[in-house]
Amino acid sequence: MGENADSERIAKRIARAGVASRRGAEAMIAEGRVAVNGRVIDSPALNVGAADAITVDGKPLTAPEAARLWRYYKPIGLVTSEADEKGRETVFAHLPEDLPRVLSVGRLDITSEGLLLLTNDGALKRRLELPSTGWVRKYRVRAKGTPIDAALEPLRKGMTVDGERFAPMAVAIDRQQGANVWLTLGLREGRNREVRRALETVGLSVNRLIRISYGPFQLGDLEPGGVEEVRAKVLRDQLGIGAAKPPDAPRKPAARRRSGPVRP
């Protein structure tokens, strides 16, 4: 044990092996369920190296899993958290049973739908969430109102809502459909309910919000509830990750596919 170029915190090692989140691993350590080189530890303030033997509940810790990424169509009505204090249904309770333990990249609120990226790797999650990636998140939005293009200019310039500064957005009117307008919006940061709050400021009430892309990753023709793993080649090309997908890992959506899920 000790610090060197290959060492890392014990809780991080446990999380990378897919046993629990880093916080969950810290709880396991506090409960005396983790041993390093035959000695039970009670503090997560420990660095371990590749040669250290780690057991959790008496079982050897497996090698860290390769970083993997999935596209998921989050349906309306699910919250993006592992447990909800209000007892609402969560995304993670509705994922296919053969999916490994995953983390969400960012969030979509309970009334929003569309593309949610999932990963088994905490470091990749944090990397994809950083604003410095410069990746645009695109949304199809249906809102009540009949705006002219000039009315959307404040969104393009950036605005302050309830004391919070929103960066400029790309926004275009796609079509007017009765009392509703369909828009496409693009933004580089995803603040809490940002799209809804920004559109309310210019007099539009959102009644459907679908995320259609997150950087280079597209919702495509996934059906609500559908999951599909991003191919290893795409991870290499887009992220420089050389992880190989296990040959028997399922890639097809859990749900039936359909074309054009975001058409008005």
> Is the distance from CB of 116 to CB of 212 less than 8 angstroms?
no
How many Å apart are CA 198 and CA 185, to the nearest integer? Answer: 11
Choose the catalytic residue: 84, 109, 221, 248. 109
For residue 254, count other CB atoms closer than 10 A to its CB.
19
Active site annotation includes 248: no
Alpha helices in the chain (DSSP H): 10-16, 22-30, 122-129, 153-157, 194-201, 232-239
Say what the alpha-carbon torsion angle 212, 68, 259, 149 is, to the nearest 10 degrees: 10
Residue 24 DSSP code: H
Contacts of 143 (CB under 8 A, 6+ apart): 180, 181, 183, 199, 204, 205, 206, 207
Active site residues: 109
